[in-house]
Amino acid sequence: MEINLNVINQVTVITIAGNLDSSTAPKAEEKILPLARPGCKIALEMSHVPYMSSAGLRMLLLIYRQISGSDGQVVLVGLSEELKDTMAVTGFLDFFQIYPNLESGLATII
Amino acid sequence: MKPLTFSATLDALSSIGEYVIAATDKAGLGQKQAYHLRLAVDEIATNVIVHSCPKSEPKPLLRLRVDLNEQDLAIILEDTGLPFDPHQTTLPNDLHCSLEKRKIGGFGIYLALKWVDQLRYERVGVWNRNIFVMKRNDC
């Protein structure tokens, strides 16, 4: 699992590549959680995440909690059908802004 | 496919995932079924690794094998951790709640049980045995 950071139009684009399971999600949390601050603008690019277990959900939950109630913004882009299914049955889908690709995600953050 | 044995550490998860996916290829399962089976096995294996004697040395063992017949693919995951029947866990009852109010965790077993056609649990001597079954004509 690799994480790359990139700033596009003042939005921090965090690209995750690889599986998010219990062996990799803690490393992703370590890198991403410090960035999820009040006022942040983040696009989480997940089109290269073929697999996500409950460990990935936990990470999303922590990100959500850090920015909710603040004016921070996090969008998720490029989720596979399977990742969306997992988020849907656990009631996560409704709480995140989800876009099919980075372009459409970035267009909504300003 | 040959059975595999791992020491119960988080490093084993990627190999466990690959093994399950290879078995689903052999059984000709559809992409979603394959994903769901991998998810179920991964969640239960993770539970053993994280919660079942995480500090004990040597680590508990995890053993993985496949039983393929005309109707079903079964992945059999055995471990020497503490007795644990996934059907006896309390599943999260707050899935409709806002993410701010949720308990962190508890999704793993829920996801393990969610999509498999069957998950059978047996305790055999010092082993927990979880049998994950997917129907082959269901793609």
Per-residue confidence at A56, pLDDT binned at 50, 70, 90? Answer: very high
**Is A93 domain-assigned?**
yes
**Is A28 domain-assigned?**
yes
- Predicted confidence at residue B130, as pLDDT, reads 98
Q: What is residue B48's three-state secondary structure?
A: helix
CA angle B16, B123, B69 (to 5 degrees): 55
Contact of B53 with B15, CB cutoff 8 Å: no
Spell out which chain B residues touch chain A, with contact meaning CB-CB distance below 8 angstroms.
Answer: 10-11, 13-14, 17, 31-32, 35, 38-39, 42-43, 46, 49-50, 95-100, 102, 104-105, 107-108, 110-111, 114
Structural tokens at position B26: 């052999």
Of the given ranges (A6-15, A67-76, A81-90, B72-81), which has the lowest mean pLDDT? A67-76
Contact B46 A81 (CB under 8 A): no
**Is A79 domain-assigned?**
yes
- Predicted confidence at residue B138, as pLDDT, reads 61
Spell out which chain A residues touch chain B, with contact meaning CB-CB distance below 8 angstroms.
Answer: 19, 21-23, 51, 53-55, 57-58, 61-62, 64-65, 68-69, 81-82, 85-86, 89-92, 95
Contact of A86 with A110, CB cutoff 8 Å: no
Q: What is residue B127's three-state secondary structure?
A: strand
Interface predicted TM-score (ipTM) of this complex, two decimals: 0.94
What is the bridge-based pairing of β-strands A97-99 and A73-77? parallel
Report the residue from A21, A57, A95 with minimal CB separation from B107. A57
**Is A110 domain-assigned?**
no
Contact B99 A82 (CB under 8 A): no
Contact B46 A55 (CB under 8 A): yes
Q: Which residue of B has its CA nearest to A24?
A: B10
CA–CA separation, B35 and B95 (whole Å): 22
Report the residue from A82, A86, A95 with minimal CB separation from B99. A95
Q: Which residue of B has its CA nearest to A82?
A: B32
CA–CA separation, B125 and B98 (whole Å): 42
- Predicted confidence at residue B57, as pLDDT, reads 83
Report the residue from A22, A65, A90 with minimal CB separation from B95. A90
Range of the domain at B98: 4-135
pLDDT tens-digit map of A5-36: 999 999 999 999 999 999 999 999 999 999 99
CA–CA separation, B98 and B35 (whole Å): 27
* Closest CA of chain B from A22, distance in Å: 7
CATH number at residue B130: 3.30.565.10
CATH number at residue A63: 3.30.750.24
**Is A94 domain-assigned?**
yes
The 8 Å CB, 24+ separation contacts for B103-107 are B104/A58, B104/A61, B104/A62, B105/A54, B105/A58, B107/A54, B107/A57, B107/A58, B107/A90
Report the residue from A65, A82, A91 with minimal CB separation from B100. A65
Instruction: Provide CB contacts within 8 A for A7, sequence distance 6+.
Output: A13
pLDDT tens-digit map of A80-110: 999 999 999 999 999 999 999 999 999 999 7
Range of the domain at A9: 2-101
Q: B58, exposed or middle or buried, with CB in 10 Å at 0-12, 13-18, 19+?
A: exposed
Contact A61 B95 (CB under 8 A): no
**Is A106 domain-assigned?**
no
Give me the number of domains chain A comprises.
1
DSSP state of A20: B
**Is A108 domain-assigned?**
no
Spell out where A18-106 has E strands: 41-48, 73-77, 97-99
Give me the number of domains chain B comprises.
1
